[in-house]
Amino acid sequence: MDVVTPDVLCAVDRALAATKAASRRDDVQVVLAEAINNIAEHAYAERDFGALALRILLNDTVLTIQLTDWGGALPDDQAQNAPPPVPTNLSEGGYGWFLIRTLTSVTSYSRVHGQNRLTLEFELF
């Protein structure tokens, strides 16, 4: 079954709507759209298709979303060390990791057994 990014975003949004994480829905939508786009564009750059697993955990204070893919590795800790964009460059790209890091309270990436694991935490207000 083919599932595209808008389908994933809608499903996650519906799942969060009636929870204590409802106040973070907009941030989650932006972050997930950026993260999934990065996976499709970079991890699966040389492939016609790719798989993505999404895990959502919610407790009283934190919403955690873990994305797992089986594509190419993220080079050189790009998730943690990507420089902020320079707005005067007027570039269309380069804002993804900045947005992800700005809208989450914790962002972590690991490569384990051929899998990329991106963990995103959102503090609940």
The answer to whether residues 24 and 56 touch, using CB atoms and an 8 Å cutoff, is no
pLDDT in tens, 12-36: 999 999 999 999 999 999 999 999 9
pTM of the entire structure? 0.88
CA atoms within 13 A on the CB side of 78: 15
What span, in angstroms and rounded, lies between the C-alpha atoms of 51 and 24? 26
pLDDT in tens, 82-118: 667 676 775 666 788 889 999 999 999 999 999 999 9
- Chain centroid to CA 27: 11
- The mean predicted confidence, pLDDT, of the chain is 89
